[in-house]
A and B are shown apart, each in its own frame.
Chain A
Amino acid sequence: GENVEQHPSTLSVQEGDSAVIKCTYSDSASNYFPWYKQELGKRPQLIIDIRSNVGEKKDQRIAVTLNKTAKHFSLHITETQPEDSAVYFCAAPNYGGSQGNLIFGKGTKLSVKP
């Protein structure tokens, strides 16, 4: 089945700097890669996703890049703000079951210091 590894586990940046979180996956058949943000005490919420037919997707200050050859995808946050502080999870499909589910990375705790 799919294996998703996420790095780093913690990341601290100064406000205004950029942050990059990277995930690798193992199943070359995977074709959907979402990123979720979880603020303290809240539920995970989707912030951006990418499908395997594109290499990059942007939404204001966040972007995701996908390298299918290397089997990795990354989340880029520019001009970080204190409200970006949260835990970020990547995920990839697991086709091991009959219809598939998402396998989540272990998460990256991002701290943005004012």
Chain B
Amino acid sequence: DAGVIQSPRHEVTEMGQEVTLRCKPISGHDYLFWYRQTMMRGLELLIYFNNNVPIDDSGMPEDRFSAKMPNASFSTLKIQPSEPRDSAVYFCASSLRGQGFNEQFFGPGTRLTVL
């Protein structure tokens, strides 16, 4: 398995532009998580899905952020409009929960820079 795949790996955009981050989870995994990592705030959970259904989006900072999972093999995180404070590394992770918590496999991350 190729692991969790994210694209793009790097994104540089200007304030006000729309940004779309993409994630392909590991095949067969039933949970998908979107995280944001910054030096100041550490690793923050933004939203997670179970079987393509959003379960908890309380970590989404504001209405400018939205996430979708149209099928089991694809998810997007969209920021519109983007702001400089959105600059961070965004990780997608997936896991197979089964009877309890199990390992979350992280993708390589997308480094977003908003100028």
Contact B56 A101 (CB under 8 A): yes
Among the 9-residue stretches B16-24, B70-78, B104-112, the one with 4 or more Cβ atoms under 8 Å from chain A is B104-112
Residue of B33, B43, B91, B103 ringed by the most chain A CB atoms within 10 A: B43
Number of residues from B at the complex interface, CB < 8 A = 19
Chain A contacts of B106 at CB under 8 A?
A: 43-45
Size category of the binding interface on chain A: 20 to 34
Chain A contacts of B104 at CB under 8 A?
A: 34, 46, 102
Question: Cβ of A31 < 8 Å from any Cβ of B?
Answer: yes
Question: Cβ of B12 < 8 Å from any Cβ of A?
Answer: no
Binding site for B on A (CB under 8 A): 31-32, 34, 42-46, 49, 51, 89, 93, 97-107
For this complex, 25 residue pairs linking A to B, each with C-beta atoms less than 8 Å apart, are A31-B101, A32-B100, A34-B101, A43-B91, A43-B106, A43-B108, A44-B43, A45-B106, A46-B103, A49-B103, A51-B100, A93-B101, A97-B58, A99-B50, A99-B55, A99-B97, A100-B101, A101-B33, A101-B48, A101-B55, A102-B45, A102-B104, A103-B45, A104-B45, A106-B42
